[in-house]
Amino acid sequence: MHPTTLPRHELAGLHVEVVESRNADLVGIAGDVVDETMQTLVVAGASGSKQVPKAAATFRFRLGGGEAQCASERASGRGPRAERVIVDGERLVARPARRTETTTPNKWR
């Protein structure tokens, strides 16, 4: 997984934080993504899991270094080499399996 491919990749298992939103209550929600629907992400944080609408928020994902495997990726995600990727939630609005298919350019920041 690479920052450019993140919007088309599996989000479950990644650490995410809501950095910006029209709804002030959503800002600051952080935790691991556990599930995804077409319009929302389910984020399991310290205070239980929250369902965050994708369209209303900007997310910051944390990526481990390189092409690490899932478990080690999570371990290294906490390390200093972790990359942070900021994605506008609008780009993620699609059914989970459908998201990988989009061929439009990735306009991640």
- Kindly state the smallest distance separating residue 13's Cβ from another protein, in Å: 5
CB neighbour list of residue 22: distance below 8 Å, 6 or more residues apart: 56
Interface with another protein, residue 45, by CB under 8 A? no
Q: Which is nearer to another protein, 10 or 20 (CB)?
A: 10
Interface with another protein, residue 13, by CB under 8 A? yes
Residue tagged 């993620």 (tokens): 92
- Candidates 25, 48, 71, 109; binder of another protein (CB under 8 A) is 71
DSSP 20-82: EESSTTTTT-EEEEEEE-SSEEEEEETTEEEEEESTTEEEEEEE-STT--HHHHHHHHTSTT-
The amino acid at residue 23 is N
- Candidates 25, 48, 79, 97; binder of another protein (CB under 8 A) is 97
Interface with another protein, residue 53, by CB under 8 A? no
Where do contacts with another protein occur on this chain (CB under 8 A)?
Answer: 1, 5, 8-10, 12-13, 34-35, 69-71, 96-98, 100-101
